[in-house]
């Protein structure tokens, strides 16, 4: 079995921070290509949040904060690749599905490369622009081994130097 990422939702916050939200359980890719013709410095509100921390659900072409490593059959990989190729035609200007297939295969291969972790490992992205290029940093979130039944699965920790803050109560008003 191969592994591919699937969207996952631990709370309803994605619905408030992204312009289009991916439902839980669909195959996913990084989605950085959605910003190939955008000026990330000019993005605001929900689009800016999608750029900074969104992972792209293939079927919905919506965003998810987290993806989870999942087992995928060869048929699943083919279905995800075909779906992404169709989305590249519908949303990204590819001339036809045959032309979009190579790009879809690359995106699916990259997504699979993120899944070199145990099934159900959660993955998040932090996307930025450095030296005029989009950079992605992926991190994994795992359940702590020393947790007891009543412990929280995740703790809030200090960011690694990013000084941008997101107020999920007001972000919807900035789009």
Q: What is the pLDDT of residue 36?
A: 86
Q: What is the pLDDT of residue 126?
A: 97
| 5 CB-contact burial (10 Å; exposed 0-12 / middle 13-18 / buried 19+) | buried
**3-state SS, residue 91:** helix
Q: What is the pLDDT of residue 146?
A: 57
- CA-closest candidate to residue 100, choices 113, 74, 82: 82
In whole angstroms, give the CA distance from residue 121 to residue 4: 11
In whole angstroms, give the CA distance from residue 49 to residue 163: 14
CA dihedral for 62, 39, 42, 93, sign (positive or negative): negative
Q: What is the pLDDT of residue 175?
A: 41
φ and ψ at residue 3, rounded to 5 degrees: -125, 140
- For 138, the token pair is 């992926």
Query: How many CB atoms neighbour CB 84 within 10 A?
Result: 27
- For 173, the token pair is 């008003």
Along the 175 residues of the chain, how does pLDDT read in single tens digits? 899 999 999 999 999 999 999 999 999 999 999 998 888 889 999 999 999 999 999 999 999 999 999 999 999 999 999 999 999 999 999 999 999 999 999 999 999 999 999 999 999 999 999 998 999 999 998 766 655 555 555 554 444 444 444 443 443 444 4
């Amino acid at each position: 079995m191969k592994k591919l990422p699937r969207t996952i939702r631990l709370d309803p916050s994605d619905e408030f921070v992204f312009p289009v939200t991916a439902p839980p359980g669909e195959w996913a890719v990084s989605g950085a290509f959605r910003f190939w013709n955008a000026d990330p410095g000019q993005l605001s509100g929900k689009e800016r949040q999608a750029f900074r921390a969104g992972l792209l659900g293939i079927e919905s072409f919506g965003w998810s904060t987290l993806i989870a490593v999942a087992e995928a059959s060869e048929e699943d990989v083919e279905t995800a690749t075909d779906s992404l190729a169709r989305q590249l035609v519908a949303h990204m200007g590819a001339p036809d599905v045959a032309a979009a297939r190579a790009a879809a295969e690359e995106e699916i291969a990259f997504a699979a490369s993120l899944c070199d972790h145990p099934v159900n490992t959660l993955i998040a992205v932090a996307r930025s622009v450095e030296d005029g290029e989009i950079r992605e940093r992926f991190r994994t979130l795992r359940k702590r081994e020393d947790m007891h039944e009543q412990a929280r699965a995740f703790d809030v920790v200090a960011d690694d130097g990013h000084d941008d803050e997101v107020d999920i109560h007001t972000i919807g008003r900035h789009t």
